[in-house]
Amino acid sequence: MRVAVLEMHGQGDFTDTRLDNAKQFPVAAKAHFGHVRHSPDMVTAKLPALQFYQLSLPAPTAPPGSFDPAAASRGQALLAGRASCISCHQAPRFTEGGWNMHTGAEIGIDNFQADRSPDHRYRTTPLRGIGAARMKGGFYHDGRYATLNDVVAHYNATLKLGLTPADRNDLVQYLKSL
Ligand code: HEC
């Protein structure tokens, strides 16, 4: 709704009182972006079909040979066990159902981009299809980690996981298989 009305300038109703916070959102608060009304509302009725379509899209599967299956199965056990990734990345979508938002401190990064959003948080990225479709452009919201190895090394350091290089490789192989 926000994208349709505020960003694409569709003719529809949109409410988000968090945008009334003039300190965080001076432009939006002044323009009353959190209280947009149009008559007739031409957006709301179109959203259910759009959501069904989005949910119907299968995540791309990793091509055979793009990961090591034995290492990936060890990595699966690590993700749910010693590496504790599962506290945030839960199957089947590898994010949390519900409010999947975290502070920078929880994942060991700065809060710069999070502070531009109403909740001051980052969203747990769903990891399905990562090996098949998302290996370019870097990881995390700003692409700060060039490779999955870098992401896992970051978690290892910041969450003090004590993973060996072999463990880290197993995790990366599992991520590539998702
Ligand atoms: C406290 C919650 C939390 C834990 C624990 C956690 N993650 Fe994350 N993960 C996040 C959040 C939040 C992001 C999004 C960060 C961003 O966009 O800057 C993320 C992003 C990622 C990404 C980047 C995805 C992309 O497409 O950019 C990968 C890969 C990842 N996590 C893997 C892991 C692995 C492997 C572990 C365990 C070693 C783990 N995560 C533990 C919350 C968590």
The pLDDT value recorded for residue 134 is: 87
Query: Is the separation of the CB atoms in 80 and 177 below 8 Å?
Result: no
Instruction: To the nearest 10°, report the CA torsion of 67, 72, 73, 77.
Output: -170
Q: Please give the Cα distance from 52 to 48 (Å, whole number).
A: 6
Q: Is the pLDDT of residue 95 over 90?
A: yes
- Any residues with Cβ below 6 Å from ligand 1, and which? 83-85, 87-89, 102, 106-107, 122, 124-125, 127, 130, 134, 139-141, 148, 151-152, 155, 171, 175
Residues in the chain: 178
The pLDDT value recorded for residue 135 is: 86
Structure-token pair, residue 127: 């990891």
Q: Please give the Cα distance from 132 to 141 (Å, whole number).
A: 18
Q: What percent of the chain has pLDDT over 70?
A: 100
Residue of 67, 84, 86, 89 to test ligand 1 pocket, by largest number of atoms within 8 Å of CB: 89
Structure-token pair, residue 99: 């409010």
User: pLDDT for 13-69, tens place per residue?
Assistant: 999 999 999 999 999 999 999 999 999 999 999 999 999 999 899 889 999 899 999
The pLDDT value recorded for residue 29 is: 96
Instruction: Mention every residue, 6+ apart, whose C-beta is less than 8 A from residue 141.
Output: 113, 122
The pLDDT value recorded for residue 1 is: 87
